[in-house]
């Protein structure tokens, strides 16, 4: 096992990784940008090192700054968290070339699954159903138009790299497609440095269901059940839950079993998430694999009792998994509410500024993963995630009841958050009945959605 | 501010009480008065001794109280304390933390060291890596703004450490081959006597060789008492 790990990320996930290191007896060094000098992770760390200015390109996205920081602080491994360089095979390769361990899949595995389009055909070869889409990347507008015509409208334009809804757009006509391609390309280029796009058939009323997998270096893998991430706004997940209300138990088992079998056969390694779209009939289609720890991983931790970050670190250190599918027990129901610094009353505009008061909710089954503290100045340079409220109950109604109480307890003064959105969502009939689909909130409009369907 | 009566462990309880009383008097009465005086008369730097204590105030070139930033966090305070225990050469040269005290008023040692006074600027590290000095530079060597005064080795590639202004090489705050983080103060440059034109101080330039803003003021650094003068702590 490693003695010392460099945490090359910020916000709540840096704190989460630090906690995993602590429980494992690993020294934690936090790499921070000038804007994060006062961050909770930097304060809690055994050592903190400034790697660059606020501009992520010169700090959290700079492989040389991060690797150099790991070397000068005597770390043996680098945990990339999520976002930033977490799925960058070039970075993973450079880390290995300097004799350090990248905590995640190897560069070779990342490379194989990096392109969403390539991993879609790879997983199709290993028996997973996939959504009809373009053959390869879109070469130009003409190619895009002909592929869209072949697949059939509506289609979803997707960037090959990255996530988080950047560079993604659903279009219903050739005219919309032509108009959107340029925007998507520039968004993708700005966000991921890669503007390759592809098309996917858009399924109306689809749900987003993903399977958490864990595979050690020796080809032994288990799944840890699925999560439903259908509550989205502009392709951004807001609330996640498990088990999914979209599928009956037998289908959930089938989905998870097929996912783990395919991913092990395809040579995956470390923790990962296979994303699927589930249509109205309950058919599922593989869309991509996320080769990193995910924001919503605590939902699975609440259900299984397995520390996913610790597991990730152990696998990267070369340890065998140590447990089998029969040892994994999924209990109860859990929700995760992403507490974002954004104003629901004003188009979810991102907020920044000084947190005057912060009280995390508590009680049985309630977990708050956050980097907030009273006096913390939320910098404007990065994403708006302030924390994640994760709530467990023995069943879905129990988890909803606890979630309401927990959201009512949460206090963040000084910075506007989307708490009121979550609170209203918990009263919404479509949500309470488990009927939310990925495009529902955007189609109806946030305000109308929350007002119209009070349960 | 700091104390020079040996290690903290050796001090008697009465010494501690005296220290606390002295610190209180300094912060509550002396400092505000000194700050006002510094602001009013356009001096660049002011030093006052009382008993075994010494306080030095320095007006930054741009008239802002550069070193009296909010102490960023407990961690920074802890780091300053560590620095004063483990890295005497660096923190002493920086003129911030003294002999074992964690009570440096403004916390972050490297920032205090960088307090760009009227008579000095500081070259800071452009990256995380290992510091490599320029072999041909000695204390007192004259350099111009933009000159390379050293480099930082980042994974085998040198990144230039650049002089932010004209001046004479002063204290080097980091040993050759030691790791540096981004933005860390590395080399102090003592600026030449004649003031360079500066927007914030143009109106005050005539009041003396030391530049200062007319209204804004603040203590810029408090030095350790009884310490051998190094280029970094020298009074202008």
- Taking 3-state DSSP, the helix, strand and coil percentages for chain A, each rounded to the nearest 5, stand at 35, 25, 35
Q: Is the pLDDT of residue B93 over 70?
A: no
pLDDT (tens digit per residue) in A15-56: 999 999 999 999 999 999 999 999 999 999 999 999 999 999
Test the B interface: residue of A47, A72, A93 with most B CBs within 10 Å? A72
Q: What is the DSSP letter of A282?
A: S
Name every chain A residue with its beta carbon within 8 A of the beta carbon of B74.
43
Whether chain B has a CB inside 8 Å of the CB on A98: the answer is: yes
User: A207-452 adopts what CATH topology?
Assistant: D-amino Acid Aminotransferase; Chain A, domain 1 (3.30.470)
Least confident of A113-117, A391-395, B42-46, B221-225: B221-225
As a whole number of angstroms, the distance between CA A156 and CA B28 comes to 65
pLDDT at position B94: 34
Q: Which residue of B has its CA nearest to A39?
A: B73
**Quick one: CA dihedral A432, A438, A444, A447, positive or negative?**
positive
A·B CB contacts under 8 A: 54
As a three-state string, the secondary structure of chain B is: CCCCCCCHHHCCHHHHHHHHHHHHHHHHHHHHHHHHHHHHHCCCEEEEEECCEEEEEECCCCCCCCCCCCCCCHHHHHHHHHHHHHCHHHHHHHCCCCCCCCCCCCCCHHHHHCCCCCCEEEEECCCCEEEEECCCCCCCCEECCCCEEEEEEECCEEEEEECCCCEEEEEECCCCCCEECCCCEEEEEECCCCCCCCHHHCCCHHHCCCCCCCCCCCCCCCCCCCCCCCCCCCCC
pLDDT at B9 over 80: no
Q: Residue B122 above 50 pLDDT?
A: yes
Question: CB under 8 Å to A73, separation ≥6 — which residues?
Answer: A4, A6, A29, A47, A49, B179
Smallest Cα distance from B146 to chain A, Å: 20
Mean pLDDT of B153-170: 96
Could B155 and A68 be called an inter-chain contact, meaning their C-beta atoms sit closer than 8 Å?
Answer: yes
Judge: A68–B182 Cβ closer than 8 Å, yes or no.
no
Two tokens at A23?
Answer: 């429980």
Q: How confident is the model at residue A190 (pLDDT cuts 50, 70, 90)?
A: confident
With contacts defined as CB-CB under 8 Å, which chain B residues touch A59? 182
Q: Specify the CATH number for A132-201; select among 1.10.1060.10, 3.30.1490.20, 3.30.1700.10, 3.30.390.50.
A: 3.30.1490.20
Q: What is the pLDDT of residue B28?
A: 65
Minimal-distance CA residue of chain A relative to B177: A72
Give the closest-approach CA distance of A39 to chain B in angstroms.
9
Q: Does A49 touch chain B (CB under 8 A)?
A: yes
Side-by-side strand order, sheet with B179-180: B157-162, B148-154, B129-133, B179-180
pLDDT tens-place string over residues A397-455:
999 999 999 999 999 999 999 999 999 999 999 999 999 999 899 988 888 888 865 55
Give pLDDT, residue A342: 96
In whole angstroms, give the CA distance from residue B106 to residue B77: 8
Whether pLDDT at A111 is above 60: yes
Is the pLDDT at B208 greater than 70? The verdict is no
Domain boundaries, given as residue ranges, for chain A: 4-103, 132-201, 207-452
Quick: pLDDT tens for B99-121: 333 333 333 334 444 555 568 89
Length of chain A: 455
CB < 8 Å from A in window 21-80 of B: 72-76
CA–chain centroid gap for A145, Å, is: 31
Res B227: pLDDT: 38
* Predicted local distance difference test score (pLDDT) of residue B116: 58
pLDDT band at A295 (very low <50, low <70, confident <90, very high): very high
Query: Do A357 and A374 touch, CB atoms closer than 8 A?
Result: yes
Instruction: Categorize the per-residue pLDDT at B210 as very low, low, confident or very high, splitting at 50, 70 and 90.
Output: very low
pLDDT confidence of A193, banded at 50, 70, 90? Answer: confident
Question: CB distance B73–A43 less than 8 Å?
Answer: yes
Give residue A136's pLDDT. Answer: 85
Question: Contact, B64 vs B213, CB < 8 A?
Answer: yes
Q: Could you read off the pLDDT of A241-286 as tens digits, one per residue?
A: 999 999 999 999 999 999 999 999 999 999 999 999 999 889 999 9
Name the closest residue on chain B to residue A74, using Cα atoms.
B179
Please give the model's pTM, rounded to 2 decimal places. Answer: 0.76
Across chain B, mean pLDDT equals 61
Cβ–Cβ below 8 Å for B182 and A45: no
Residue-wise pLDDT for A208-225, tens only, equals 999 999 999 999 999 999
Average pLDDT, chain A: 95
Chain B from 174 to 193: CB within 8 A of any A CB? 179-184
Q: Is B156 at the interface with chain A, CB within 8 A?
A: no
What are the φ and ψ backbone dihedral angles of A277, each rounded to 5 degrees? -100, 135
Q: Domains plus CATH for chain B?
A: 1-118+195-236 (no CATH), 120-190 (2.40.50.100)
Determine whether the interchain pair A53/B182 forms a contact, defined as Cβ–Cβ distance below 8 Å.
yes
**CB-based burial of residue B47 (10 Å sphere; 0-12 exposed, 13-18 middle, 19+ buried)?**
middle
Confidence of residue B19 (pLDDT cuts 50, 70, 90): low
Nearest CA in chain B to A67: B155
Computed from CA positions of residues A437, A439, A445, A446, in that sequence, does the dihedral angle turn out positive or negative?
positive
Determine the CATH number of domain A4-103: 3.40.50.20
Q: Which of A68, A93, A96, A100 to mutate to test the interface with B (most CBs of B within 10 A)?
A: A68
Does the CB of A30 have a partner CB in chain B at under 8 Å?
no
DSSP A213-250: EEE-TTS-EEEEEEEEEEEEETTEEEEEEES-TTS-HH
In this prediction, the answer to ipTM > 0.90 reads no
């Amino acid at each position: 096992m490693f003695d010392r790990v460099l945490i090359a990320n910020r916000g709540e996930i840096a704190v989460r990784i630090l906690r995993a290191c602590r429980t494992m007896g690993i020294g934690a060094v936090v790499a921070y940008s000038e804007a994060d000098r006062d961050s909770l992770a930097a304060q809690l760390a055994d050592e903190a090192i400034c790697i660059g200015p606020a501009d992520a390109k010169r700090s959290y996205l700079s492989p040389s700054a991060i690797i150099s920081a790991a070397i000068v602080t005597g770390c043996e491994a680098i945990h990339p968290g999520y976002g930033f360089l977490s799925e960058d095979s070039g970075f993973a390769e450079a880390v290995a070339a300097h004799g350090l361990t990248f905590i995640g899949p190897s560069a070779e595995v990342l490379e194989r699954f990096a392109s969403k389009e390539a991993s879609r055909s790879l997983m199709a070869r290993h028996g997973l159903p996939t959504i009809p889409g373009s053959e390869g990347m879109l070469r130009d507008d003409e190619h895009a138009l002909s592929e869209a015509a072949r697949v059939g409208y509506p289609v979803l334009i997707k960037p090959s790299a990255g996530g988080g809804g950047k560079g993604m757009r659903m279009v219903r006509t050739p005219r919309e497609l032509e108009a959107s391609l340029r925007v998507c390309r520039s968004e993708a280029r700005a966000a991921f440095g890669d503007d390759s796009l592809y098309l996917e058939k858009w399924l109306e009323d689809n749900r987003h269901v993903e399977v958490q997998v864990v595979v050690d270096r020796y080809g032994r893998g288990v799944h840890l059940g699925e999560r439903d991430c259908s509550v989205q706004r502009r392709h951004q997940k807001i609330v996640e839950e498990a088990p999914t209300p979209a599928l009956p138990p037998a289908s959930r088992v089938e989905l998870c079993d097929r996912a783990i079998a395919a991913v092990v056969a395809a040579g995956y390694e470390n923790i990962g998430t296979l994303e699927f779209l589930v249509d109205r009939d309950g058919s599922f289609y593989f869309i991509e694999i996320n080769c990193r720890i995910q924001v919503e991983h605590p939902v699975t931790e609440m259900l299984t009792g397995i520390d996913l970050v610790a597991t990730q670190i152990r696998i990267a250190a070369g340890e065998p998994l140590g447990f089998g599918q029969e040892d994994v027990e999924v209990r109860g129901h859990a929700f995760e509410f992403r507490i974002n610094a954004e104003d629901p009353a004003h188009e979810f505009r991102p907020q920044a500024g000084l947190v005057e008061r912060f009280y995390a909710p508590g009680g049985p089954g309630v977990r708050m993963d956050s980097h907030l503290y009273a006096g913390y100045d939320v910098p404007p340079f990065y994403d708006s995630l302030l924390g994640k409220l994760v709530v467990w109950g023995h069943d879905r109604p129990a988890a909803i009841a606890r979630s309401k109480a927990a959201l009512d307890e949460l206090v963040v003064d000084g910075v506007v958050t989307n708490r009121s959105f979550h609170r209203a969502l918990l009263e919404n009939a479509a949500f309470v009945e488990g009927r939310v689909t990925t495009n529902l909130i955007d189609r109806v409009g946030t305000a109308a959605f929350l007002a119209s369907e009070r349960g | 501010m700091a104390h020079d009566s040996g290690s903290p462990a050796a001090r008697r309880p009465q010494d501690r009480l005296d220290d606390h009383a002295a610190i209180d008097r300094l912060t509550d009465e002396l400092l505000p008065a000194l700050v006002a005086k510094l602001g009013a008369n356009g001096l660049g730097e002011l030093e006052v001794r009382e008993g075994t204590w010494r306080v030095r105030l320095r007006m930054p070139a741009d008239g802002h109280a550069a070193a009296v930033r909010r102490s960023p966090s407990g961690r920074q305070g802890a780091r300053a304390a560590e620095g004063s225990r483990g890295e005497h050469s660096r923190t002493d040269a920086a003129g911030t933390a003294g002999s074992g005290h964690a009570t440096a008023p403004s916390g972050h040692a490297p920032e205090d060291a960088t307090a760009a006074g009227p008579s000095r600027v500081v070259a800071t590290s452009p990256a995380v890596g290992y510091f490599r000095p320029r072999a041909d530079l000695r204390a007192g060597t004259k350099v111009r703004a933009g000159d390379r005064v050293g480099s930082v080795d980042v994974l085998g590639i040198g990144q230039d450490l650049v002089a932010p202004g004209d001046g004479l090489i002063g204290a080097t705050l980091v040993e050759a081959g030691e790791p540096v983080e981004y933005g860390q103060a590395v080399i102090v440059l003592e600026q030449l006597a004649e003031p360079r034109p500066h927007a914030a101080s143009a109106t005050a330039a005539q009041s003396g060789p030391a530049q200062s803003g007319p209204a804004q003021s603040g203590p810029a650094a408090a030095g350790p008492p009884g310490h051998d003068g190094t280029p970094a702590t020298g009074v202008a």
